[in-house]
Amino acid sequence: MSTNEPLAISESQQMNLDTEPEGRWKGAFREMLAGGPGVAIGALILAFLVGSIMIAFTNAAVREAASYFFARPQDFFSALGSAMGGAYSSLIRGSIFNWEAPTFQRMISPLLLTLHNSGPLICAGLGVAVTFKAGLFNIGGRGQMLMAAVFAGWLAFGLPNLPVGIHLIVCILGGILGGALWGALAGFLNAKTGAHEVIATIMLNYVALYLLQYLLATPGLMQNPGSSNPITPATPMSAQLPRLFGRQFPLNAGFLIALLAVAFCWWLLNRSSLGFAFKAVGENKRAAKVAGINTDRMTITVFAISGALLALAGAMQVLGTVTTGFTDGIDGGIGFDGITVALLGGSQPVGVLFAGLLFGAFKAGGSMMQAGQMIPIEIVSVIQSLIVLFIAAPPLVRAIFHLPQPSQVAAAKKAAAKAAKAEAKAAAKKEVSA
Amino acid sequence: MSTVTVDPSTVLPDEGPIEHRIVEKRSVKTATILAVATALLALLLVASPRQGKTNFQITLGNEFFSIGEGGVVAVPAVPFAWICVAIMAVLTVVAFVLSYRYSKFPGWASAVFGLLAVAAFLSWAGAGAQGRLNVVGLIGNAILVAIPLVFGALGGVIGERAGVVNIAIEAQLLMAAFTGAVVGSLTANAWVGLLAAILAGAGVAAILGVFAINYRVEQVIVGVVLNVLIIGVTTFLFSAWLQTDMQRLNSTLEHRFPDIAIPLLSRIPIIGPALFNRPVIVYIMYVAVAAVWFALYRTRWGLRTRAVGEHPKAADTVGIKVNATRWLAVLIAGAIVGIGGASYTLVSNPSFNREMTAGFGYIALAAVIFGNWDPIRASLAGLLFGFAINLQSVLSVIGSPVPSQFMLMLPYVVTLLAVAGLVGKSRAPAADGVAYTVEGH
């Protein structure tokens, strides 16, 4: 049986309400957060274990030594040791402190690179986290970043005569507007037509990608004049984010903006009435509706704010990271990394800050591993996604490391309490009889 | 057309006899869409008239009979396009009349309408070009492009019908393409490669199953993370391992599935060479579509699978093991997607390349939704998207005025409109994406 149109739409919305049990995402996060440090450490160990196996498997010396393993096993283990040592020492030297560098400046430059990398990652993670809090999922970070790059880039190349500080601010605000509009479009589709936000944002990613490709390939739009390659002109100096420690270090004001964004999100989610409404919708949409919250408007607002935060990441890329002209790969996969950052950070602004720093360090160290040890940088995304997978399934990690399951802990506590009670009773009885 | 009956329980018995009314409603949606499409094409022809003729290559020479001169038919571009538009206009009027009479516009008429629209557009786009528009190649290559989309969509339909959202189609396609390339190259045998690719697809599905079914992690999250993981794993192994010995590990040039001509069928003009002179995976695809439809709608397994996707608790109550059924469905779906992934390295390309699936898993997901979670309609949606993607490359060869980026955008825009309820109605299985906990365990 089919129904007529308006009915069909309201019915599908109704269906969404009915089929999504309240706090569906919340349950997932409670599980993750309930994991505690034991599970987090276990997840890290497991992820690095798998990463190490992959590094060992592809290391030429290790494979050669493995071919005569039974004749001389010590060769195999020394090759394995040097492969692992080389990989992880370059991971640390590339991300935190390079003790092999000749000058002190060069020694601390990896740490500054880590901070530089983490700026866009933190913003993207915050953007995804905000939607998680409202019971929604924004996987359209790529599209929102690309639209932000279009807006910010267009303002950067198109208005070269603006004064230095104003130009930068105009570009950032323009980029935020672009991403917020693209995010709000997804929210609008979800709120007004019942389209699933995951599908809508995935599709909008591709629409944005091809839109940008069209702009890049068409002379007179965003293509660099005089070039036939799909690349924009360089970002003018007046629109670039100022570098914090001189030209030789890439760290720019983007990191400070990311810190401000963390503070803003903390305020938004923990102190503002808007954030309270977001969380109310996320915990129980129907209850929020009954309480008088306009859930449709909240969905659109959440997606606009999320898009704005991802746009910040996109603007940082154009105005800080890639200033020599950008291509359709300007998002650098950060839109998707933002999802893993948000998950790892438990959707809490401060957690996202640390998760972003960790992933920024992975990115910096991964480049060093690739350059020095010929280990492809993709090992980083493997390890990152494994960490998130394992953290998302605490019972699995507990089972692997024989950590006590929470239910067992509770049962044991109960049993202990019972035993103590019984003992006390018995003691009391004894006393009485005595 | 729809029927709404008044629920008898809402009518009190002493209010007279219960009246059952059948309320019929007119749906002008199809007719409106046809009218808009016709108007857009007419507008295109008016706004940008083009000169010259369009050369359609209809037959290749091996068919029962040849059409045109050396298989080429030259038509005056704009008049031909106008004729097509005129017939489309007539069909639109018919659609309005039918909707006025509460009748449905038949599906085959929609197909005819679509064919006419494509013919008119191609005739306009190819006007005055020196090259020929190879109709056989247009359809045949669309089939090849659509293989991963159709298999991906079939896998997606099975998984979601069982209540497991599969965002990881992309990961399954990529892992299968990788495994197919490596095993196919090492064993110098495409069949062994295909088998390995099927296992690889099912292997990725098993990871999805462990986390989504056993550990009840949010399915969309598992899918997204799996995509990132498999892109990372395959690219890592490609750079660190395959590239050290491409000739031995990653070269299926001589071991790919060859074209197999089906006797008689392959000699039918146009559709013969396009549909029946293809690698064996294409024939597997034809069979798979029918088999999945039959399995889902006509077997006990299919009924149980759909039951756990719609109402797991009810299924559990009547003794169906919900999570075991879901596990089986997820594994079968992964194996089917694996066949599609194998087509990348055992049919279309001579080697594996990094991220070679290029987001086709997401298009397959779009096809699942656009096809309303039905295997046949999802497969047709996959074919349609394959045709649009292929059309874009054909048009760029003959020099079309439409920017290729907008053709590439088409599947995604269509899907957006579909999920927004503007094109057709989409309704997911009720328990799609919801993990099931057996009570008392």
- The answer, for A39 touching chain B at a CB cutoff of 8 Å, is no
Residue of B nearest to A334 (CA): B228
Which residue of chain B is at minimal alpha-carbon distance from A26? Answer: B218
For A218, name the nearest residue in chain B, comparing CA atoms only. B403
Radius of gyration of chain B, Cα coordinates, nearest whole angstrom: 24
User: What's the Cα-to-Cα distance from A113 to each of A253, B320, B396, rounded to whole Å?
Assistant: 13, 55, 42
CA distances from B418 to A163, A171, A203 (A): 46, 35, 11
Phi, psi of B435 (to 5 degrees): -70, 150
Q: Which residues pair with B69 in a beta bridge?
A: B72
pLDDT digits (tens, 9 = 90+) for A149-178: 999 999 998 887 888 889 999 999 999 999
Residues of chain B found within 8 Å of residue A207, distances taken between Cβ atoms: 409, 412-413, 416
Structure tokens given for B240: 């660190």
Task: Name which of A24, A205, A206, A400 to mutate to probe chain B: the one with the most chain B Cβ atoms within 10 A of its Cβ.
Answer: A206
Report pLDDT for A175. Answer: 96
Q: Residue A137 gets which letter from DSSP?
A: -
What are A425's two structure tokens?
Answer: 């009773």
Sheet with B133-134: strands ordered across: B72-76, B53-57, B133-134
DSSP state of B345: I
* Å between B81 CA and nearest CA of chain A: 27
Residue B103: which H helix or E strand, with range?
none
Taking the Cβ of residue A420 and every Cβ of chain B, the question of whether any pair is shorter than 8 Å is answered with no
Sole residue written with tokens 């509460």: B102
* Binary contact (A203, B415; C-beta < 8 A): yes
The total of structural domains in chain A comes to 1
Which chain A residues touch B222 with a CB distance below 8 Å? Answer: 389, 392
Domain range summary for chain B, segments of one domain joined by +: 29-131, 139-419
Q: Compute chain A's Rg from CA coordinates.
A: 26
Question: Domain for residue A212, yes or no?
Answer: yes
ipTM of the complex: 0.81
- Cβ atoms within 10 Å, residue A432: 7
**Nearest chain A residue (CA) to B240:** A58
Cβ neighbourhood burial of B157 (10 Å; 0-12, 13-18, 19+): buried
Render pLDDT for A253-269 as a digit per residue (tens, 0 to 9). Answer: 999 999 999 999 999 99
Q: What is the dihedral of CA A239, A242, A247, A252, to 10 degrees?
A: -110
Question: Which residue, among A58, A63, A150, A203, would best test binding to B if mutated, counting the most B CBs under 10 Å from its CB?
Answer: A203
With an 8 Å Cβ cutoff, is B233 touching chain A? yes
For residue A11, the model assigns a pLDDT of 38
Mutate to test the interface with A, among B30, B32, B228, B426 (most CBs of A within 10 A): B228
pLDDT digits (tens, 9 = 90+) for B158-216: 999 999 998 899 999 999 999 999 999 999 999 999 999 999 999 999 999 999 999 88
CA dist A24 and B279 (Å) reads: 45
Distances (CA, A) of B325 to B84, B136, B355: 49, 42, 32
> Are B225 and A194 inside 8 Å of each other by CB?
no
Does B434 contact A at CB distance below 8 Å?
Answer: yes
What is the rounded distance in angstroms from the CA atom of residue B49 to the CA atom of residue B56? Answer: 19
CA A292 – CA A97 distance, rounded (Å):
53
A30 touches chain B (CB under 8 A): no
What is the sign, positive or negative, of the torsion defined by CA atoms of A294, A298, A299, A300?
positive
B94: nearest Cα among B40, B41, B31: B31
Full domain range(s) for residue A54: 9-398
Which of A:349-378 have CB within 8 Å of B?
A: 374-376, 378
Give the closest residue to A135 by CA, choosing from A36, A29, A289: A29
Token digits of residue A346? 């438990």
Tell whether B32 lies on the interface with A, counting CB pairs under 8 A: no
Alpha carbon A78 to its chain's center: 37
CATH number for the domain harbouring residue A137: 1.10.3470
Which pair of tokens denotes residue B24? Answer: 């019929």
Mutate to test the interface with B, among A139, A199, A400 (most CBs of B within 10 A): A199
Pick from B366, B406, B420: CB nearest A189: B420
**Bridge-partner residues for B54, per DSSP?**
B75
Quote the minimal CA–CA distance from A34 to chain B in Å: 14
Give chain B positions within 8 Å (CB) of A388: 221, 225
Task: Provide the CATH number for the domain formed by B139-419 in this structure.
Answer: 1.10.3470
Q: What is the chain B residue with the closest CA to A3?
A: B2
Distance separating alpha carbons of residues B292 and B287, to the nearest angstrom: 9
Residue with tokens 């270090």: A249
- Taking only residues 294 to 323 of chain B, the set having a beta carbon closer than 8 angstroms to any beta carbon of chain A reads none
Convert A95-121 to b/e letters by CB count within 10 Å (16 or more is b).
bbebeeeeeeeeebbbbbbbbbbbbbb
Question: Cβ contacts (< 8 Å) between B371 and chain A: which residues?
Answer: none
A17–B contact, CB cutoff 8 A: no
Angle B264-B270-B275 from CA coordinates, rounded to 5°: 65
Q: What is the pLDDT of residue B29?
A: 73
Residue A340 at interface with chain B, using a CB cutoff of 8 Å:
yes
A289-303, A342-356, B59-73, B143-157, range with the lowest pLDDT: B59-73
Contact B29 A5 (CB under 8 A): yes
**Are B215 and A198 within 8 A, CB to CB?**
no
Residue A48 has pLDDT above 50, yes or no: yes
Of A180, A182, A159, nearest in space to A169 by CA? A159
Is a pLDDT exceeding 80 seen at residue A428?
no
Interchain contact, A392 vs B409, CB within 8 Å: no
The alpha-carbon gap from B423 to the nearest alpha carbon of chain A, in Å, equals 11
CB proximity A61 to B under 8 Å: no
Is B374 an 8 Å CB contact of chain A?
no
Q: Are A1 and B2 within 8 A, CB to CB?
A: yes
CB-side exposure of A274: number of CA atoms within 13 Å? 13
pLDDT tens per residue, range A221-240: 888 888 888 889 888 888 89
The token duo for A74 is 């010590």
> pLDDT tens, position by position, for chain B (441 residues)?
444 455 555 545 555 666 677 777 677 777 887 888 899 889 888 887 778 888 888 887 777 877 777 778 888 888 899 999 999 999 999 988 988 888 878 878 888 888 898 888 888 887 777 777 888 888 889 999 999 999 999 999 999 999 999 889 999 999 999 999 999 999 999 999 999 999 999 999 999 999 999 988 888 889 989 999 999 999 999 998 898 888 888 988 888 899 999 888 888 888 888 889 899 999 999 999 999 999 999 999 999 999 999 999 999 999 999 999 999 999 999 999 999 999 999 998 999 998 899 889 988 988 898 888 999 999 998 998 898 888 877 777 666 667 788 878 877 887 787 777 655 556 778 888 788 877 654
B 349-368 residues with CB below 8 A of A? 359, 362, 365-366
Please give the Cα distance from B11 to B7 (Å, whole number): 8
- Domain annotation covers residue A416: no
> Which of A8, A380, A396 comes nearest B425 by C-beta?
A8
CB B285 within 8 A of CB B387: no
* CB within 8 Å of chain A, chain B residues 152-191: 167
- Listed in sequence order, the residues at least 6 apart from B417 whose beta carbon sits closer than 8 Å to its beta carbon are B423
Distance CA B125, CA A23 (A): 52
Kindly write down the DSSP assignment for every residue of A10-76, as one continuous string: HHHHHHHHHHS-TTHHHHHHHHHHHTHHHHHHHHHHHHHHHHHHHHHHH-HHHHHHHHTTTT-HHHH
Distances in whole angstroms, Cα of residue A345 to Cα of each of A129, A137, A350, B268 = 8, 15, 7, 61
Q: How far is B276 from chain A (nearest CA, A)?
A: 33
Question: Which one of A5, A54, A194 has the shortest CB-CB distance to B236?
Answer: A54
- Who has greater pLDDT, A215 or B134? A215
Asked if B421 lies within 8 A of A8 by C-beta distance, the reply is yes
Express each pLDDT in A92-147 by its tens digit: 898 888 888 888 888 888 999 999 999 999 999 999 999 999 989 898 999 999 99
Instruction: Tokens for B135, please give them.
Output: 């109709």
B262's enclosing H/E stretch is none
Report CA dihedral (B430, B435, B436, B440) to the nearest 10 degrees: -150
The whole-number average pLDDT for the span A59-68 is 85
Q: Is A202 on the interface with B (CB under 8 A)?
A: yes
